[in-house]
Amino acid sequence: MSGGEHGHIPVMAQRILDLLAPAVTRHSATGEGAVVVDATLGAGGHTELLLRAFAGLTVVGIDRDGAARQGAAARLAPFGDRVSINAGRYDELARVLAEPVGLGRALPEVDGVLFDLGVSSMQLDQRNRGFAYAVDAPLDMRMNTDDPLTAADVLNTYSHGELARVLADYGEERFAGRIASAVVAARREQPFTTSGRLVELLYSTIPAATRRTGGHPAKRTFQALRIEVNGELDSLKAALPAALDALAVGGRAVVMSYQSLEDRIVKREFAQRSRSSSPAGLPVELPGTAARFALVTRGAEQATEDEIEANPRSAPARVRAIERIAPDGVEGGAR
């Protein structure tokens, strides 16, 4: 699918559509009356795909990035009141559903929720945001430019131990301690302000043998700084339960992640929700303990080779989906 004049190609577009379709169309082939939450609206590519595919569908979009919301509003204007664009992080989903912009009613339950995690293509392409290590730019990395903490603040104010923790936990960087030492030494001479200087430091700090085989030496550090600045993992841990709790019976949640830390959180939450709470070893399941959810995907699905060739940013994507099969307080049913 082409991103057209908006320049954004939704990742795994057809697969996302196929995963959400049974939930959207379970009452009407056109999705009449159905509501899907695009919890990471971004440039609006996936929302546009859904609105075009299902003429009766309404989408509630959420994004913390003001520039993203503005661009999505222009892209989705032809759909009028079938789309509601809301400011917020995805862990504010429950608040948004209590009063979605322009809908004039609360939404106690929805038919689908979509998360497309990580940094968006639009943010990567905006050089002044500092997300991409391939260009020299201010060390910002805020998804919401009104938030106070920037990547430069992290580099210039965190202690050696705090920096090493961030790099190890959020970037899975094996040289976290060495990099933290180099940053602390370098900032004594001059505070960090641009990504180019950080990339130079990483090239000089990470051993040459690792640079030759481990991908770009800045990848893990930039990922770690972005996650820390935006509180991404904590937001995800809070957002997933809220999203699943909001689903109607037959509704589905689809999550696309781009790195292992996010995917582990999704895998763990989905596994817990789709598992009986009866103690192991009992010959029969206890009343009230059957799972209320069932996995739709077995493991994490990936983009096809053809899609990766057409859209290289889809290469790291991992997709998982889950469906609510019973309301809370009622026995779960077989699929």
Residues of the chain with CATH 1.10.150.170: 127-230
Strand order in the sheet with 293-295: 83-87, 58-63, 35-38, 110-116, 247-257, 318-324, 293-295
Q: In the chain, which ranges are E strands?
A: 35-38, 58-63, 83-87, 110-116, 247-257, 293-295, 318-324
| Max Cα distance, the chain (Å) | 68
pLDDT of amino acid 313 = 84
160 is in an annotated binding site: no
Query: What is the end-to-end Cα distance of the chain in Å, rounded?
Result: 32
pLDDT of amino acid 2 = 38
Residue positions counted in the chain: 335
pLDDT of amino acid 119 = 67
pLDDT of amino acid 6 = 44
Which pTM was predicted? Answer: 0.88
Residues of the chain with CATH 3.40.50.150: 4-116+232-324
123 is in an annotated binding site: yes
18 is in an annotated binding site: no
pLDDT of amino acid 11 = 87
The fourth-level CATH superfamily of domain 4-116+232-324 is Vaccinia Virus protein VP39 (3.40.50.150)
* Sites in the chain below the pLDDT cut of 50: 1-7, 332-335
Q: Are 22 and 252 in contact (CB under 8 A)?
A: yes
44 is in an annotated binding site: yes
302 is in an annotated binding site: no
pLDDT of amino acid 281 = 66
Render pLDDT for 166-187 as a digit per residue (tens, 0 to 9).
999 999 999 999 999 999 999 9
Class of the 127-230 domain?
Answer: mainly alpha
